[in-house]
């Protein structure tokens, strides 16, 4: 009987993935070839014919290896970056819509209500930490963890850019403050830099790999 595990290990020497994942893929492929071989025997083929039919299941091993790498990379990126990042950004968007309905815009600049801005920044600390933690649990790299935590900043940048374009190219006369550099600096500071710093600060504790303490050896 052919040793399909040895054959697969020889043909797929390395995939550039984690060792455990590579071994899992090889085991699945070897099982698939074994099933094809047994199916050939059941149809009345000789062992040599059944083996040849099973090997024909993979026409090009290099192409198969490239496809596996591509699919695994896409799957990993989705799991470690896009899923946690977009989820956190959705949370931020829902919170923003709720705040707009509950708190009138003038209240945010009211010096008698500093707790509003503090609560907003505290939430962004939590969201940044949630995104980075989620990515770390999924095996994300340091960069993926940081980007996952900072994803809500994409929403802020989009709104800031749309606001800037509307102010600069609107046919209506621009307000005087729109012509001042200090106005745009304030937008960048309050709408991009400060929330971005809060998100990064929240993600910071989860940028390090989690360590599991090993039990002390028995004396």
State CA 62 to chain mean position distance. Answer: 28
Identify the pLDDT of residue 30. Answer: 92
Name the nearest CA neighbour of 131 among 95, 96, 81: 81
What value does the CA radius of gyration of the chain take, rounded to a whole number of Å? 28
Tokens of 35: 């099933």
Number of H helices, E strands in the chain: 11, 0
Identify the pLDDT of residue 20. Answer: 82
Predicted TM-score (pTM) of the model is 0.64
Q: What are the tens digits of pLDDT across the range 123-180? A: 999 999 999 999 999 889 999 999 999 999 998 888 888 877 777 776 655 556 666 7
Percentage of the chain beyond pLDDT 70 is 85
**Alpha-carbon span 76 to 71, nearest angstrom:** 9
Question: Which residues, other chains included, contact 133 with Cβ-Cβ below 8 Å and sequence gap of 6+?
Answer: 206
Name the nearest CA neighbour of 200 among 141, 137, 145, 118: 145
Identify the pLDDT of residue 164. Answer: 74
Identify the pLDDT of residue 156. Answer: 87
Q: What is the mean pLDDT of residues 34-50?
A: 91
Tokens of 85: 């990042």
Identify the pLDDT of residue 175. Answer: 58
Is the pLDDT score of 59 beyond 80? Answer: yes
What is the DSSP code (8-state) at residue 17?
S
Q: What are the tens digits of pLDDT across the range 70-120? A: 888 778 889 899 999 999 999 999 987 887 777 766 655 556 666 677 888
DSSP 180-209: -HHHHHHHHIIIIIHHHHHHHHHHGGGSSP
Angle CA(156)–CA(161)–CA(166) in degrees, nearest 5? 125
């Amino acid at each position: 009987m052919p040793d399909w595990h040895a054959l697969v290990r020889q043909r797929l020497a390395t995939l550039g993935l984690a060792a455990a994942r590579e071994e899992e893929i090889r085991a699945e492929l070897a099982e698939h070839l074994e099933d094809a071989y047994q199916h050939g025997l059941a149809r009345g083929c000789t062992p040599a014919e059944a083996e040849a039919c099973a090997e024909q299941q993979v026409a090009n091993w290099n192409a198969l290896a490239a496809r596996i790498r591509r699919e695994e990379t896409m799957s990993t990126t989705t799991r470690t970056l896009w899923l946690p990042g977009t989820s956190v950004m959705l949370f931020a968007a829902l919170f923003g819509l709720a705040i707009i309905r509950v708190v009138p815009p003038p209240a945010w600049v009211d010096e008698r209500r500093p707790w509003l801005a503090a609560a907003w920044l505290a939430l962004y600390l939590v969201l940044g930490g949630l995104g980075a933690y989620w990515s770390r649990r999924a095996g994300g790299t340091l960069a993926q963890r940081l980007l996952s935590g900072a994803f809500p900043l994409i929403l802020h940048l989009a709104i800031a850019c749309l606001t800037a374009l509307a102010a600069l190219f609107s046919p209506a006369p621009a307000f005087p403050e729109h012509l001042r550099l200090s106005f745009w600096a304030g937008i960048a500071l309050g709408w991009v830099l400060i929330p971005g710093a809060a998100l990064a600060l929240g993600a910071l504790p989860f940028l390090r790999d989690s360590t599991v303490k090993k039990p002390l050896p028995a004396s």
